[in-house]
Chains A and B, each alone.
Chain A
Amino acid sequence: MSAATSTMSGPTARSDRPVWWLVFRQELDDLWIGGKALNLLILFAVLMSITAYLLATNSELSLTPPRLMIVTTIQSAITFGLFIGLVIASECLSGERERATLEPLLLAPAGRRQIVLGKFLAALSPWPIAYAFCVPYVVTLAQGDIALWPALAWGALLGTLVTVAFTGIGMLVSIYSASSRTSLFIGLLVYIGALLPAQLPGEFQDSPAGALLQAIDPLEAARIFMMKGFVDVRPVEELWPLLYAPVIVTALVLGAIFVYAAPRLGLTPSGPRLGWGTRGSEVVG
């Protein structure tokens, strides 16, 4: 082993890429080459196949009209697709804390917002692929219905909004979480909570409380928008209020991440702490 000699070519050397891009690329490698994103996409494909099969067999019995199948399949793609983003984001920073790979990143002269942005974009990366994956299923099940392409376009828009929102919630949980188990558990609770309104009894859904719940849950609002827009064929003007939740929640989550939480990203969670792990920075040695 030779002695280490100076390697600096000069302090004027400048990176030709912004930090967020470098972190994004590194995280993409980790997600896709490491196999985590691929495994989640395989799970997504299995779930989509099961959904499509059940809808197709129902259709053969003339129980499900094509439009309902289009909307249900798109809704399934959104529901499963945002789950991938939520899982990846929930684990991305808390997992790095656990694996002790966060400290060198924080020691680099890189802005915290840029680090978080790079990881956030990487966590979103499976979404477009997952949505593209559902297109052949929807096309097959649509049986030539004219609502196919508009529904796919609205699905892409709404799906992107809610995926950004839920991936962002995952990032927030991860920033404030000491362990990946805790953050994944909380992410799962958020996911179940978002799915809950659709599972409530019909009477409750029709009540003012149910309406409020639907209005503030972006996933439920997106589902109702698609149902009313393409199955009930309601005019778009009537449906605008249903877009408030996805847009407002997404904006609030992005604001919370990049204005408040990202600059406070630390070796250990600061501010509202989640989890029951040891406080890493308090380990004196």
Chain B
Amino acid sequence: MQPGGSTPGVTAPEPILVAHDIHRSYGARRALRSLSFTLRPGRVLGFLGPNGAGKTTAIRVLTTVLEPTSGRFEVDGVGSEHPDRIRRRIGVLPEGLGFPRHTSGADYLAYFGQLYGRSRSDARQVGRKLLDDVGLAARGDSLIETYSHGMRQRLGIARSLVNDPRVVFLDEPTLGLDPRGQAELLGLIQGIARDRSTGVVLSSHLLSEIENICDDVVIMNDGQIVARGTVAEVLQQEGGDAQDAHTVRVRVPVADVGRAGSIVEGLTGMTRRDTDPSGWLTIQIAVANGSSPLDADRNRLLDALIKADVPILGFEIAGARLQDVFLRLTAESIA
């Protein structure tokens, strides 16, 4: 994968994580097949895939918890044949991480800071700083058993940063969080990549969060990569066939649905296919005139609605969302 986002004329930094043709089998079952990708510092890479696609196995291999059956990887220039050295360069928030019940957040971070080689005073100082960074400064001395799920996730992220890692792996960090908790955590994750120049590998089921905060994306299915690149590249490469591109969705206030529908039906080559209760109108743009540029037709539709003072709350091209790509690429597995 050649991650995009680089400014012309500016040399892209060297990849901080490079996976070469990694395979992992459990007996006869191949859980991971030919995993290859790169990640550059300061970027967030989204790992997407249905349950059983191999995301967690991939993360466990890349974090040295599991040995690859074949293939190798490098973190910050250190090869996978040196797992101890790699562990010093990575931070990990495993899925469903447990915490000791009778320890405070500050003591927990100080403990791991020392395990990563910090002196006691340095570990405590760094722990306090991280608690502040993740918004837990006020609760640092409280026992972890009194923390909410969201607070524990933030503490887990703080723990993954105690060694100032070059790459952070986050496996389903927002699982079980409410929308506010998800938004806060995603902001924190973006901050980690931006402010620390850390590479972040984010595994998630939530396609919207991957689409919103990830620079690059890897979509896995049945143990292998089925799409990879920047989010824009994946959407462009896998963003649906011509028929999908002729279908758009426009969201308007529920009170204006009738009026918007009439406007659409009054436009040449446009047909309202569907309306849902939340105000989304699905509109088919006719393909009879093959020479008509689609972009112009879409603009013509929006222009007509704007001129009629219909507020436009949302606009989507069918097949152009990450969710559409994901569902298409993993259709067989999900079915």
> Hey, which bits of chain A sit against chain B, CB under 8 A?
1-9, 13-17, 19, 22, 26, 29-30, 33-34, 96, 99-101, 103-110, 266-267, 279, 281-285
Q: Flag if A4 contacts B196 (CB, 8 Å).
A: yes
Interface centre among A17, A33, A101, A284 (most CB of B within 10 A): A284
Which of these, B158, B164, B192, contacts A8 with CB under 8 Å? B164
A contacts with B: majority SS: loop
Number of interface residues of B (CB under 8 A): 69
Instruction: Tell whether A107 pairs with B102 under 8 Å between CB atoms, given A4-B188, A7-B130.
Output: no
How far is it, in angstroms, between the C-alpha of A105 and the C-alpha of B64 when the chains are bound?
12
Min Cβ gap B211→A in Å is: 20
> Hey, which bits of chain B sit against chain A, CB under 8 A?
26, 29, 31-32, 51-57, 60, 63-66, 84-85, 87-88, 90, 92, 94-103, 111-112, 114-120, 122-123, 125-126, 129-130, 132-135, 154, 157-159, 161-164, 184, 187-188, 190-192, 194-196, 223
Which of these, B26, B94, B135, contacts A2 with CB under 8 Å? B135
Q: Flag if B98 contacts A99 (CB, 8 Å).
A: yes
Min Cβ gap B36→A in Å is: 18
Q: Flag if A103 contacts B94 (CB, 8 Å).
A: yes
Q: Flag if B103 contacts A101 (CB, 8 Å).
A: no
List 24 A-B residue pairs with CB atoms under 8 Å apart, sorted by A's residue number: A1-B133, A1-B134, A1-B154, A1-B184, A2-B132, A2-B191, A4-B157, A4-B191, A5-B133, A6-B196, A7-B130, A8-B164, A15-B119, A15-B123, A22-B114, A30-B100, A99-B98, A103-B92, A104-B97, A108-B87, A109-B88, A110-B115, A266-B65, A267-B65
Query: What residue in chain B is nearest A106 (Cβ atoms)?
Result: B65
How far is it, in angstroms, between the C-alpha of A4 and the C-alpha of B60 when the chains are bound?
24
Q: Flag if B101 contacts A4 (CB, 8 Å).
A: no
Number of A-B contacts (CB under 8 A): 156
Q: Flag if A281 contacts B54 (CB, 8 Å).
A: no
Q: Flag if B57 contacts A109 (CB, 8 Å).
A: no
Q: Flag if B112 contacts A108 (CB, 8 Å).
A: yes
Which of these, A7, A96, A104, A285, contacts B161 with CB under 8 Å? A7
Q: Flag if B130 contacts A17 (CB, 8 Å).
A: no
Q: Flag if A1 contacts B187 (CB, 8 Å).
A: yes
**CB neighbours of A100 from chain B (8 A):** 94, 96-98
Query: What residue in chain B is nearest A103 (Cβ atoms)?
Result: B94
Q: Flag if B92 contacts A15 (CB, 8 Å).
A: no
Which of these, A30, A281, A285, contacts B66 with CB under 8 Å? A281
Min Cβ gap B280→A in Å is: 32
Which of these, A16, A108, A279, contacts B120 with CB under 8 Å? A16
Q: Flag if A3 contacts B95 (CB, 8 Å).
A: no
